[in-house]
Amino acid sequence: MIKVLTSVFMLACMFLCFSTGVKAENKLTAPFKAPFSIFGSKKDKDKESSQQLDANAEKNVQTTPKQKPIIVYDSKNTLGVTYLENAVSKAEFYIEEKDFESAKQVLEEISEWVYDATEYHTDLFKTLSNLENSEEQANIERNLAIQFAVLRDKTLFLESRIHLENGDKKQAIENLVEVVRSQPSTELGFKAYESLQEIGFTYKIEYEMIDE
């Protein structure tokens, strides 16, 4: 009887050791998740329950409103969008008040960074677009690139106003052409092209009414 109990006990120990080893091996061989993905790759998932869980989680993420990142949209963050929007608005106010020197100082502080930030976010968008399961993060970079690009073009346009005030038409033309190239069908693009016409760089087609 003792031998039987001993044999049963040994078999139970061997089964527990084997089960623990399988679990440990599964942990070591679990697939890594993509660094920019919320859920990672789903190609290597074998169990239907795991797939259903991830599908439900993804659905919840898509339908749950998200708050904008506090740091990116903090007005005190000199790297973010809101800070630059406030700076551009301040420069517009100075120009309307004919205080071109103050407007110049404000724009000089942001002009280089707003251009670089546009390029950086564009590069990040292109990079993430080529990674699997990174669509959502790529869209974030795309939206930020667009927001920075709009601010860049507004900065270029306001700088052209200052250049014209100082009599530097050639530098103003460079800025205005850049705005038209970037936004050919927007109100800002139209204003830039009208400025090019007003300073004599180009001209508008004149139509003549013919009486029948």
Predicted pLDDT of residue 144: 96
- One-letter amino acid for residue 176 of the chain: L
**Which of 59-63, 64-68, 196-200 is modeled with the greatest confidence?**
196-200
The answer to whether 104 and 92 are in contact (CB under 8 A) is no
Distance of CA 182 to the CA centre of its chain: 17
Q: 211: which DSSP letter?
A: -
Look at 99 and 5; give whichever has higher pLDDT: 99
pLDDT of 130 reads 93
Mean pLDDT of 84-101: 97
Q: So what's the pLDDT on residue 40?
A: 37
What's the gap between Cα 58 and its chain centre?
Answer: 21
pLDDT at 53: 37
Question: What's residue 23's pLDDT?
Answer: 42
**Could you report the per-residue pLDDT of 124-155, keeping only the tens digit for each?**
999 999 999 999 999 999 999 999 999 999 99
Secondary structure letter of residue 186 according to DSSP = S
Q: pTM for this one?
A: 0.68
112 confidence band (pLDDT: 50, 70, 90): very high
Q: Do residues 176 and 160 touch, judged by C-beta distance below 8 A?
A: yes
- Could you report the per-residue pLDDT of 80-91, keeping only the tens digit for each? 999 999 999 999
Over residues 59-69, the mean pLDDT reads 52
The angle subtended at Cα 17 by Cα 11 and Cα 21, nearest 5°, is: 145
Among candidates 112, 189, 197, which has minimal Cα distance to 150? 189
Residue 181: exposed, middle, or buried by beta-carbon count in 10 A (0-12, 13-18, 19+)?
exposed
Query: What single-letter amino acid sits at 158?
Result: L
Handedness of CA 14, 19, 20, 24 (dihedral sign): positive
Could you give the percent of the chain with pLDDT greater than 70? 67
Q: What is the pLDDT of residues 158-196, one digit of tens each?
A: 999 999 999 999 999 999 999 999 999 999 999 999 999
Give residue limits of the domains in the chain: 81-198
pLDDT band at 33 (very low <50, low <70, confident <90, very high): very low
Res 38: pLDDT = 38
